Amino acid sequence: MTAPGTREAVAAPAPRPATGHRPAGYAVVGTRRVSFLLHRRAAVVAVLLAVLLAAVCLAYLCVGEDFVAPSDVLDVVLGRPSSQELVVGTLRLPRMAVGLLVGAAFGVAGGLIQTVARNPLASPDIIGVTQGAGALTVGAMTLGVTSYAVLPYLSVVGGLLAAGLVYVFAWRGGLHATRFVLIGIGFAVALRSVIQLFLTKGDYLVAQQAQVWMTGSLNGRGWAEAAPLGWALLALLPAVLWAARAQRTVSMDDDTATALGVRLGRTRLGLVALGVVLASMATGAAGPVDFVALLAPQIARRLTRTAQIPLLCSALLGAAIVVGGDLLARKLFAPTELPVGVLTAAVGAPYLIWLIIRGHRTRTRTAGRGRAAGPRSRASRAAGGEA
Amino acid sequence: MTETGATTAPTTGEPAPSRLTARELTLAYEDRTVVDGLDLDVPQGAVTVVVGPNACGKSTLLRALGRLLRPRNGAVFLDGADLARIPTKQIARSLGLLPQTPVAPEAITVADLVARGRQPHQHWWQQWSAQDERAVTEAMERTDVAELAERAVDELSGGQRQRVWIAMALAQETDLLLLDEPTTYLDIAHQVEVLDLVRQLNHERGRTVVAVLHDLNQAARYADHLVAMRAGRILAEGPPAEVVTAELVHEVFGLEAVVIPDPVTGSPLVVPGRPWAGAGA
């Protein structure tokens, strides 16, 4: 290869590494027949996040109206007889379990939907999924359905309906990510007003109960919510494992992904459906805890520096945010208990604004770089022009 | 690698049967027909270059050959089977395609991106094999991007980035490789480098390459088989020495030109201008 002209960054013929090239930063785990790629940094981050989450959980169980010693907490968690059985075992532990599961579900759901939309703004609470879940649930509440055995399922139905409508309206011979997000935001606003309508029309007491639910609260939640959510998440675990792998190819552009043999339409639909179900289930259990699905995947990705959103880290982080947030919401303004959703919204909203400003800046910057501008503006191609 | 060009075409004896063919291919975007009833046999083991004026349907044709676009009518056949009926992952094991403007995931490293070319050969339970490692290493050394392995694709220059994308397509290890304007956005040195690489791949590995190029002279220099398109139809095809004439250039591009032998390779060289106007007129 003696091409004329200078070649950037490839100066002298550097000594070639003796080993072959793996995807940088990955370790290969397994044998010849069965092998898995493990992102080293993501694995380390996951362990650290797990430790952090454990610490947050311990603090959650210790701190409250009365402080409970960690040794007593451990006794209760391990099922040993303890004098703190009531405070820790009956009051705090079930509520924490709901927070853990809801946070993890939102974390994964946000990651999946953001991946498919290729847009960090496209989290289920921005594009109308949680609002759809909320509208149907609040609607049912005002019509007299108050059984917590039914409401979570209505949530899932509502979330799926909303996402389906957004999908249908955004479809124009193909799914264009930006259109999907914009139409989703429109639906979110519209559904919010539907919820308001139900709240003002409905019975006062029910409306008040629904209002608390709508801000996203763990207050009064327990095993009744945690158990079905836990079983459902366990059942969906194989799907999440599939999704973690499928994300790798969906994050490429459509043409490249298809050229690599990915059934793009089906894969995307599968990922979105899984994300919507997870987000709706979480909403059904604790209401729309705003911005967790937006924050967790993005922070997790910045920590791991992976090319796609690390789902496990995102789940751990989502759980830590919800449990930690609820701890603060309980403690900060005691004896008044703030809904955790208010706290996550207070943190999440500035982040969202920052994300939009930063996104705008990088877009204007790359637009000047000629080459980079082409690949990023896919609108013309998706609209179907001869390239 | 200086003796590139049509003169080193590895065509001896009777040609091997074509693996990739198009029959009565009609391609349309919504209600606009772009390619109309086109037949094409991609010569096996050769470099085929498709040329033509803007919007003649050459990129559209390539997209259809790579199953990125469903034909409105007719079909593309791979080893005799309709492309639309073969599982897409199976196609990806014999047919690679590099789109004109591929988009890398944000912050992905070079080695990670090239490794994704192995996707069609992997399963969820087998995410990395010795075969994958060999293919990726080879692809990266061949395209001279091994030194960039740990760098983020975002940070690279246009020429480096294009070589990385080609490395990804090579790592796929397909016998057939489709390239949509692989030299766009590159300066002339990098254009030559990329085209030399394509030639070399074909020469040493016998890979069949179909490329869309907009530079007629580069096409004439690097192609074994030249396909000239205009308004969705093939006007002429064959070895560049036979196909590229002043008449054809006029017919395809509407341009008055002189065709002289390339001083380096002897392949036809198109010089725009009226033949009788002379230099300096």
Mean pLDDT for the stretch of residues A5-22: 47
How far apart CA B166 and CA B143 sit, in angstroms, is 7
Chain A residues with CB inside 8 Å of B29's CB? Answer: 384-386
- The nearest alpha carbon in chain B to A304 belongs to B107
- Binary contact (A20, B136; C-beta < 8 A): yes
pLDDT digits (tens, 9 = 90+) for A311-332: 999 999 999 999 999 999 888 8
* CB < 8 Å from B in window 19-48 of A: 20-26, 28, 32-37
- Binary contact (B34, A248; C-beta < 8 A): no
B181 contact partners, CB below 8 Å, separation of at least 6: B59, B100, B211, B212, B213, B214
A104 contact partners, CB below 8 Å, separation of at least 6: A233, A315, A316, A318, A319
Chain B residues with CB inside 8 Å of A372's CB? Answer: 154
Mean pLDDT for the stretch of residues B87-97: 94
Mean pLDDT for the stretch of residues B52-68: 93
SS3 A371: coil
The structure tokens 């990395």 sit at B128
pLDDT at residue A377 greater than cutoff 50? no
Mean pLDDT for the stretch of residues B48-53: 95
In DSSP notation, B103-145 reads: -PPTT-BHHHHHHGGGGGG-BTTB---HHHHHHHHHHHHHTT-
Chain B residues with CB inside 8 Å of A1's CB? Answer: 1, 144, 193, 196-197
Please state which of the ranges A258-262, A277-281, A321-325, A343-347 shows the lowest mean pLDDT: A343-347
pLDDT of A362 reads 54
- Binary contact (B59, A10; C-beta < 8 A): no
pLDDT of B116 reads 92
The four Cα atoms A212, A215, A218, A222 give a dihedral, to 10 degrees, of: 60
Mean pLDDT for the stretch of residues B151-166: 89
pLDDT of A10 reads 40
Mean pLDDT for the stretch of residues A70-87: 85
Across the interface, of A3, A253, A261, the residue whose CB is closest to B102 is: A253
pTM of the entire structure?
0.83
pLDDT tier at B14, thresholds 50, 70, 90 = low
CA dist A358 → A252, A378, B161, B170 (Å): 22, 20, 24, 35
The four Cα atoms B20, B21, B26, B29 give a dihedral, to 10 degrees, of: 10
Interface A-B: count of C-beta contacts within 8 A: 181
> Count of CB atoms within 10 A of residue A267's CB?
18
pLDDT of A335 reads 77
Mean pLDDT for the stretch of residues A250-259: 89
Please state which of the ranges A62-66, A258-262, B9-13 shows the lowest mean pLDDT: B9-13
How far apart CA A323 and CA A62 sit, in angstroms, is 13
Please state which of the ranges A30-39, A275-284, B110-119, B262-271 shows the lowest mean pLDDT: A30-39
Closest to A39 measured CA to CA, from B109, B52, B266: B109
Chain B residues with CB inside 8 Å of A386's CB? Answer: 29, 34, 55, 57, 59-60
Determine the distance in angstroms separating the CA of B279 from the nearest CA of chain A, rounded to an integer. Answer: 29
pLDDT of B171 reads 93
In DSSP notation, A38-50 reads: EEHHHHHHHHHHH
pLDDT of B2 reads 41
Residue A286 in contact with residue A221, Cβ under 8 Å?
yes
| pLDDT above 70 coverage of chain A, percent | 86
pLDDT of A203 reads 79
In this structure, is the dihedral angle defined by the CA atoms of residues B135, B141, B145 and B151, taken in order, positive or negative?
Answer: positive
pLDDT tier at A369, thresholds 50, 70, 90 = very low
pLDDT at residue A2 greater than cutoff 50? no
Mean pLDDT for the stretch of residues A160-173: 88
pLDDT of A149 reads 72
- Binary contact (B127, A35; C-beta < 8 A): yes
pLDDT of A21 reads 66
pLDDT at residue B208 greater than cutoff 70? yes
How far apart CA B232 and CA A5 sit, in angstroms, is 37
- Binary contact (A23, B109; C-beta < 8 A): yes
Assign residue A72 a region: left if phi > 0, alpha if psi is -120 to 50, beta otherwise?
alpha
pLDDT of A366 reads 43
- Binary contact (A259, B92; C-beta < 8 A): yes
- Binary contact (A22, B136; C-beta < 8 A): yes
> Count of CB atoms within 10 A of residue B48's CB?
23
- Binary contact (A259, B144; C-beta < 8 A): no
pLDDT digits (tens, 9 = 90+) for A189-245: 999 899 888 888 877 888 887 887 787 888 888 888 888 899 999 999 999 999 988
- Binary contact (A2, B130; C-beta < 8 A): no
pLDDT at residue A18 greater than cutoff 70? no
* CB < 8 Å from B in window 272-331 of A: 305, 307-308
Helix or strand holding residue A190 (H, E): helix A177-201
Burial A195-230 (b: 16+ CB within 10 A, else e): beebbeebeeebbebbeebbbbbbbebbeebbebbb
Please state which of the ranges A38-42, A98-102, A322-326, B85-89 shows the lowest mean pLDDT: A38-42
Residue A171 DSSP class: B
pLDDT of B3 reads 40
Helix or strand holding residue B36 (H, E): strand B32-42
Please state which of the ranges A192-206, A234-248, B128-142, B150-164 shows the lowest mean pLDDT: A192-206
pLDDT of B167 reads 93
Assign residue B74 a region: left if phi > 0, alpha if psi is -120 to 50, beta otherwise?
left
Chain A residues with CB inside 8 Å of B193's CB? Answer: 1, 3, 5
Determine the distance in angstroms separating the CA of A319 from the nearest CA of chain B, rounded to an integer. Answer: 26
pLDDT tier at A381, thresholds 50, 70, 90 = very low
Residue B224 in contact with residue B239, Cβ under 8 Å?
yes
Determine the distance in angstroms separating the CA of A305 from the nearest CA of chain B, rounded to an integer. Answer: 7
- Binary contact (A262, B57; C-beta < 8 A): no
The structure tokens 């490395």 sit at B167
Mean pLDDT for the stretch of residues B55-67: 93
Please state which of the ranges A41-45, A168-172, B196-200 shows the lowest mean pLDDT: A168-172
Chain A residues with CB inside 8 Å of B93's CB? Answer: 261
- Binary contact (A386, B34; C-beta < 8 A): yes
pLDDT of B95 reads 95
Compare A386 and A180 and report the one with higher pLDDT: A180
Determine the distance in angstroms separating the CA of B37 from the nearest CA of chain A, rounded to an integer. Answer: 17
How far apart CA B258 and CA A224 sit, in angstroms, is 84
pLDDT of A384 reads 34
pLDDT at residue A378 greater than cutoff 50? no
pLDDT of A5 reads 41
The four Cα atoms A118, A120, A123, A128 give a dihedral, to 10 degrees, of: -80
Q: Is A262 on the interface with B (CB under 8 A)?
A: yes
CA dist A155 → A159, A169, A206, B270 (Å): 6, 21, 17, 68
How high is the mean pLDDT of chain A?
A: 82
pLDDT tier at B185, thresholds 50, 70, 90 = confident
Which residues, in sequence order, are bridge partners of residue B212? B50, B180
* CB < 8 Å from B in window 263-282 of A: 263
- The nearest alpha carbon in chain A to B147 belongs to A10
User: Which residue intervals of A63-150 are DSSP H helices?
Assistant: 70-77, 93-117, 129-142
Determine the distance in angstroms separating the CA of A234 from the nearest CA of chain B, rounded to an integer. Answer: 20
How far apart CA A107 and CA A226 sit, in angstroms, is 17
Residue A139 in contact with residue A206, Cβ under 8 Å?
no
Chain A residues with CB inside 8 Å of B125's CB? Answer: 34-35
Strands A26-30 and B208-212: unpaired
pLDDT of A308 reads 87
Which value does ipTM take for this structure?
0.86
Burial A62-79 (b: 16+ CB within 10 A, else e): bebeeebeeebbebbeee
Chain A residues with CB inside 8 Å of B78's CB? Answer: none
pLDDT of B7 reads 41
